[in-house]
A and B are shown apart, each in its own frame.
Chain A
Amino acid sequence: MTDVLSLVFRTFVSQTKPQKEPAVRPPSAASSSVLLVGDRGVSSSLLLLAAVTAASEMGIRVAFFTQTQIQSLPETLRRCKTTFFYPRTLDQLLLHVASLHESPTPPALIVVDRLESFLRDPAEQSSAAHVSALLCDTASFLTQVLEKRGSGSAPCRIIASYLSEADANKDSEDLSVTDPVLDVLDRYFQVRCTLDRDRGYEAAAAAVQEVWHVYLSGRGIAEASSNKDWEEKHRAAQEWKLLILPDGVIEFNSV
């Protein structure tokens, strides 16, 4: 999944600022599941960007799960191989994901927007573990299917967003380090992508609406960077800046 995110950052990179040459990470099983943690609005936008980029630039089939009906889809998404599912409950989400193996055209990217909306309140760790494990197991199976078919889309990737109700009202830097549900999710998702709002003067100085720091961390990143040459060369690829311009356009800057 970090390969898709890297491609999103590269595709929507700011044209007004000189950039370091960002590399697209090769897809690997070690980094094929990403948990997005941070502001819900920005997370949802990033998930949709990931879906659009994966479908249009990489030509892979996407399954997008969200509780919130999307009123109007970008033309790109309507034309591309993206299927939207709108489960209302955790049980419906579980059944939809569990049924993906029945599809004759399985997805190579599974997106789940706002996991917290499917988990009971107060969210139970077991429910979080079940949906996470099912996502991972499903992705593992679909990876085998895609590899057998020689489609070139493998591995099957997962990206989900999560923010607890308690943390939704806090600044990003105050995000709870003891959220038990997040601890469970970290067991199954190999990479965490943290969105941290920059409240400094840069946003005002640059005349952008919002500036967010995007950090990639977790054991999936550590494994991918275990090669020293790779680590030195691509350390900067683990941190980006996300800019939301006054007209709503999103751009990325490498750090």
Chain B
Amino acid sequence: MRSFLPAVAEQLFGDIQQTYHDTSQIPDDLLIALKFVFGSCALLALDLVDQRSVICLSSPSGRQAFQVLGSSGRLYTCFLSCHFCPCPAFSYTVLRRTKGLLCKHILAVYLSQTMALTLQETVSDQQMSVLLSGTGAL
């Protein structure tokens, strides 16, 4: 994902990627840093990653998007190159109150990519268009 994140977050993901690649674990100091930077959604995002809830969808045209299975069982479609999530937390905490950088779903995407735990799935071009638009069948 092209970065809309502050440099400290980029650095943190780089450290997590290196450490996880070497040890298959995230040490306490990086977990604390994650919580410091992202707040309460850090642990919730890690739960989603543990549950393998992040899927990268691809279609024949090459278009890609992420889907995250939320704790409520709902699927949230997030974009590759910029931050958007249709969940209430993104709408309220990030957009309206500008209190958070991300919601847990977008953070789960970052972490899942960093730790190479993203599942891969293929859909048709038409299915991808419907998913990206968030409209379902019109």
- Across the interface, which residues of A come within 8 angstroms of B59, CB to CB? 101
- Across the interface, which residues of A come within 8 angstroms of B125, CB to CB? 101-102
Q: Check B82–A137 contact: CB distance below 8 A.
A: yes
In Å, the complex CA distance between A172 and B61 comes to 43
- Across the interface, which residues of A come within 8 angstroms of B61, CB to CB? 101-102
Pick from A44-52, A57-65, A88-96, A246-254 the stretch touching chain B: A88-96
- Across the interface, which residues of B come within 8 angstroms of A98, CB to CB? 128-133
In Å, the complex CA distance between A138 and B132 comes to 10
Contact with B along A119-151 (1 / 0, CB 8 A): 000001110011011101110110011000000
Look across to chain A and name the residue whose beta carbon is closest to the beta carbon of B78: A133
- Across the interface, which residues of B come within 8 angstroms of A136, CB to CB? 79, 81-82
- Across the interface, which residues of A come within 8 angstroms of B134, CB to CB? 94, 130
In Å, the complex CA distance between A136 and B135 comes to 18
In Å, the complex CA distance between A134 and B90 comes to 15
- Across the interface, which residues of A come within 8 angstroms of B83, CB to CB? 133
Q: Check B130–A101 contact: CB distance below 8 A.
A: no
Does residue B96 face the partner (Cβ distance < 8 Å to A)?
yes
Q: Check A133–B79 contact: CB distance below 8 A.
A: yes
Look across to chain A and name the residue whose beta carbon is closest to the beta carbon of B96: A125
Most buried by A among B59, B61, B126, B138: B61
In Å, the complex CA distance between A101 and B130 comes to 12
- Across the interface, which residues of A come within 8 angstroms of B129, CB to CB? 95, 98-99, 101-102
B binding-site residues for A, Cβ under 8 Å: 2, 59, 61-65, 79-84, 86, 90-91, 95-96, 125-126, 128-135, 138
In Å, the complex CA distance between A126 and B103 comes to 13
Q: Check B138–A134 contact: CB distance below 8 A.
A: no
Q: Total interface residues on A, using CB and 8 Å?
A: 27
Instruction: Tell me the smallest distance from the CB of B25 to a CB of chain A, in Å.
Output: 33
Question: Which one of B126, B128, B133 lies within 8 Å of A94 (CB-CB)?
Answer: B133
Does residue A184 face the partner (Cβ distance < 8 Å to B)?
yes
Q: Check B96–A129 contact: CB distance below 8 A.
A: no
A-B pairs, 5 with minimum CB distance: A133-B84, A98-B132, A94-B133, A140-B81, A98-B133
In Å, the complex CA distance between A91 and B2 comes to 26
Does residue A97 face the partner (Cβ distance < 8 Å to B)?
yes
Most buried by A among B80, B131, B132, B138: B132
Instruction: Tell me the smallest distance from the CB of B60 to a CB of chain A, in Å.
Output: 9
In Å, the complex CA distance between A185 and B127 comes to 27
Q: Check B82–A188 contact: CB distance below 8 A.
A: yes
In Å, the complex CA distance between A98 and B79 comes to 11
- Across the interface, which residues of B come within 8 angstroms of A140, CB to CB? 2, 80-82
In Å, the complex CA distance between A113 and B48 comes to 39
- Across the interface, which residues of B come within 8 angstroms of A141, CB to CB? 62-64, 80-81
In Å, the complex CA distance between A145 and B125 comes to 15
- Across the interface, which residues of B come within 8 angstroms of A94, CB to CB? 132-135
- Across the interface, which residues of B come within 8 angstroms of A144, CB to CB? 62
- Across the interface, which residues of B come within 8 angstroms of A134, CB to CB? 79, 84, 132-133
Using A133-B79, A140-B81 as known contacts, say yes or no to A125 and B95 having CB atoms under 8 A apart.
yes
In Å, the complex CA distance between A133 and B133 comes to 11
Does residue A180 face the partner (Cβ distance < 8 Å to B)?
yes
Q: Check B79–A137 contact: CB distance below 8 A.
A: yes
- Across the interface, which residues of A come within 8 angstroms of B62, CB to CB? 101, 141, 144-145
Instruction: Tell me the smallest distance from the CB of A181 to a CB of chain B, in Å.
Output: 10
- Across the interface, which residues of B come within 8 angstroms of A92, CB to CB? 138
Given A98-B132, A130-B134; 14 other pairs, CB 8 A cutoff: A95-B129, A98-B130, A99-B133, A101-B63, A125-B91, A126-B86, A129-B95, A133-B79, A133-B82, A134-B132, A137-B80, A140-B81, A140-B82, A141-B81
